[in-house]
Amino acid sequence: MSGSLEAAVLTLWLAVVVIVSLGAAAVAWGLAYRENASPSAIWGRAGMTFAAAMTLLIGVGGFVVIALTS
């Protein structure tokens, strides 16, 4: 892969990771809101879900990049 193509693919992957993570956090926020949880619990669940999704997706992306470039 050329350098600019690789950079474009990585940038696109990062955008996908952020969008999917925000979606997962929104779902967690909505579910906690429906349970009438406290505001700190609602935002805590959303934040932890966002962090977990980002970590998981960036990790998967890292393995894919290693596999493609080696």
18 or 68, higher pLDDT:
18
Percent of the chain past pLDDT 90, that is, above it, reads 61
Please spell the DSSP secondary structure of 10-58, one letter per residue. Answer: HHHHHHHHHHHHHHHHHHHHHHHHHTT--HHHHHHHHHHHHHHHHHHHH
Q: Is residue 49 over pLDDT 70?
A: yes
* Contact by Cβ (8 Å): 2, 65: no
pTM score: 0.81
Would you say residue 28 has pLDDT above 80?
yes
pLDDT computed for residue 44 by the predictor: 96
Q: What's the average model confidence in pLDDT over 41-46?
A: 96
Inter-residue contact 42 to 33 (CB < 8 Å) = yes
